[in-house]
Structure 1
Amino acid sequence: MSEIIKLHGLKKNFGKVQALSDVTFTVNPGEVVGFIGPNGAGKSTTIRALLGIIKRDAGEAKIFGKDVWKDSLDIHKRISYVPGDVSLWGSLTGGEIIDLFLKLHGGGNKQKRDYLIERFELDPKKKAKGYSKGNRQKVGLIAALSVDSDLYIFDEPTSGLDPLMEAVFQEEVAKIKETGKAILLSSHILSEVERLADKVVIIRQGRIVETGTLDELRHLTRSTITLATEGDVAEIAAVNGVHDFEQTDDQATFSADNQHINDILQEATKLGVKRFEAVPPTLEDLFMRHYEG
């Protein structure tokens, strides 16, 4: 099937500042793509360009095979979007705003709306001017998730939510994923992305620095090994691919290059293995690889 989102060579300048440079990635049907990077890396600028809010300076940007700038009205009929800071009409209640969003979109499932209001523990009768940031986010999320869209774009959607509500959001996104919908999830919560994403796109200073599944990217960094042996475990420190070796009695903890795991296992077997644990690198490890220092 053709890509839901296709970005190729996307560039955007604000005066002399180059915000985006050669941003290229795709989102396929039924795929959750985690879009990560620190503040100022270009995530929100990319998303605004995708939504047709700002005009790109160069490159290709398509959703459903249509140009995001020229065909934005047609595209918006089939997508749901939640920004990182939802602005609301203060004189309206949360319930009224949700219904207005659904009416503006032209669709929406009222049963799903009521279910989500209960799940997110939102008081729909309270005026929006009395809402906290977290409750404003809930209004945006409930409205977006109540619509049966072909593409969901979330830009830091759980900003301001407590951990319990973050978990509710993750569960609802997982349900959408099961129905085969495409999702672009920009988030600073790496555990959230790691749980939900099929593919990860890491952006740094307006450029894409890594793209791939977590399994594909994990070869780029090291696993953490805990090893206990009958013989002198200190001998493992000399094996190729072993780094940051620390020993306590007959047990050692160290990081290991994944291509050398087999060599380490062979040497450990000669010493008599009592315990061997290997923890693959997390998304945070992969992320920090590009940002530390």
Structure 2
Amino acid sequence: MTAIIEVDKLTKRYGNKRGITDVSFQVEEGEVFGFLGPNGAGKTTTIRLLMALLRANSGTARIAGLDVWQGSVEIKRLVGYLPGELALDPGLTGGQILEYFGHLRGGVDQAYLKQLIARMDLDPSRKFRQYSSGNKRKIGIIQAFMHRPRLLILDEPTSGLDPLNQQEFERMVREVRDDGRTVFLSSHILTEVEQTCHRVAIIRDGQLVRVGSVEELKDIKLQEITITFASAVPIEAFKDLEGVEQVDMLSDGRTVRLSVQGQADAVIKAAAQHSVLTLTSHQPSLEDIFLRYYEGDGVAAKEVSHVVQ
């Protein structure tokens, strides 16, 4: 596959304040790429650099083979961009705003635009100042999608949307993906990223700490296995098994709870030597992964991984 976004050691400083440092990743044409991190982690800074709204101190970024700064005008023709915060004329109606953006694009398919308005359940006759934060977000989503761009760059797109509109947005993203187009999606809503994205990058304090597929990221997280035996089993039988990070015996003396990294084959074989009543396994979610990289002393965040091609 061909990379449509190429970022290499991108760095942006705000005086003495942290921006981003040596951020590197690639986004392949036709994939949905999630950029995950809490507010202030560096997501918006990275996106503004991609859109040439900020200039990097060092490093490079390219979209469709074009340098984002030198080729910014041409890049904007092929990108649908949704900023984290919309600053639009409060006196214009939603319909007027969308008409204005359509003219900037040289015209858009009006039937498709009306379809997006209906899908987002937007009243285009109201003035922008009268919209709730969720309805303002809908305007931003519609203007980003309406010209069927080759690449969508979306900063926290579902912030303020109700659950039904979130689901509709996810369907729209899947349609873009199925059409062979690309989505770069920043978010701190973990289920959104997990349900829509092929690959995920986790950013912490301005530095990229992990890039990989959703399934690959799940594999690095400890899974929890709870086994209840018919009678007491010595805890030592599990402590030194491959992949076992922690073992606890519950108060009943017959239930063992294990934290296991990677495959649980050794644990299952050891448990089979005894009479097992129940065995449950909690598979890690993307939220588990995210919390691991942001919890406690941040040791995991220092384990910077190479980009998964």
Q: Which amino acid aligns with 2:281?
A: A
State how far apart, in whole Å, the 1-side matches of 2:53 and 2:152 are: 16
**Range that drifts further, 3-12 or 268-277:** 268-277
Structure 1 residues 19 and 227: CA distance shift in structure 2, 3 A:
same
3-state DSSP of counterpart to 1:87: coil
State how far apart, in whole Å, the 2-side matches of 1:86 and 1:244 are: 50
Indicate conservation of the 8 Å contact 1:37/1:188, yes or no.
Answer: yes
State how far apart, in whole Å, the 2-side matches of 1:110 and 1:251 are: 66
Q: Does 1:245 align with 2:279?
A: no
Counterpart of 1:79 in structure 2 is 79
Q: Deviations over 1:204-252 (max 9, x none)?
A: 1111111111222223221122333334356465453152635375874
**Range that drifts further, 237-246 or 84-93:** 237-246
Counterpart of 2:283 in structure 1 is 280
Q: Which amino acid aligns with 2:195?
A: R
**Range that drifts further, 124-133 or 84-93:** 84-93
State how far apart, in whole Å, the 2-side matches of 1:155 and 1:212 are: 20
State how far apart, in whole Å, the 1-side matches of 2:140 and 2:263 are: 47
Unaligned stretches of 5+ residues in structure 1: none
Q: Deviations over 1:26-64 (max 9, x none)?
A: 100111111011111111000000001111111110000
Counterpart of 2:60 in structure 1 is 60
Q: Deviations over 1:178-222 (max 9, x none)?
A: 111111110010110011111111111111111111222223221
**Range that drifts further, 168-177 or 4-13:** 168-177
Counterpart of 1:89 in structure 2 is 89
State how far apart, in whole Å, the 2-side matches of 1:175 and 1:246 are: 48
Counterpart of 2:34 in structure 1 is 34
Counterpart of 2:301 in structure 1 is none
Structure 1 residues 253 and 72: CA distance shift in structure 2, 3 A:
farther
Counterpart of 1:209 in structure 2 is 209
Indicate conservation of the 8 Å contact 2:222/2:262, yes or no.
Answer: no
Once the two structures are TM-superposed, the CA of residue 279 in structure 1 deviates from its matched residue by 2.7
3-state DSSP of counterpart to 2:201: strand
State how far apart, in whole Å, the 2-side matches of 1:254 and 1:111 are: 57
Indicate conservation of the 8 Å contact 1:243/1:256, yes or no.
Answer: yes
TM value normalised by structure 1: 0.93
Structure 1 residues 210 and 105: CA distance shift in structure 2, 3 A:
same
Once the two structures are TM-superposed, the CA of residue 289 in structure 1 deviates from its matched residue by 1.4
Structure 1 residues 87 and 131: CA distance shift in structure 2, 3 A:
same
Counterpart of 1:224 in structure 2 is 224
**Range that drifts further, 99-108 or 15-24:** 99-108
Q: Does 1:184 align with 2:217?
A: no
Out of 251, 264, 282, the position equivalent to 2:267 is 264
3-state DSSP of counterpart to 2:264: helix
Q: Write the mapping of 1:68-217 to structure 2, written as runs, cut at 5 A.
A: 68-217=68-217
**Range that drifts further, 6-15 or 251-260:** 251-260
Cα RMSD for the two superposed structures:
2.0
Q: Which amino acid aligns with 2:9?
A: G
Q: Which amino acid aligns with 1:169?
A: F
**Range that drifts further, 215-224 or 158-167:** 215-224
Counting aligned pairs with the same residue, the percent is: 38
State how far apart, in whole Å, the 2-side matches of 1:244 and 1:110 are: 61
Indicate conservation of the 8 Å contact 1:85/1:159, yes or no.
Answer: no
3-state DSSP of counterpart to 1:159: coil
Indicate conservation of the 8 Å contact 1:98/1:140, yes or no.
Answer: no
Indicate conservation of the 8 Å contact 1:226/1:251, yes or no.
Answer: no
Aligned positions, number: 293
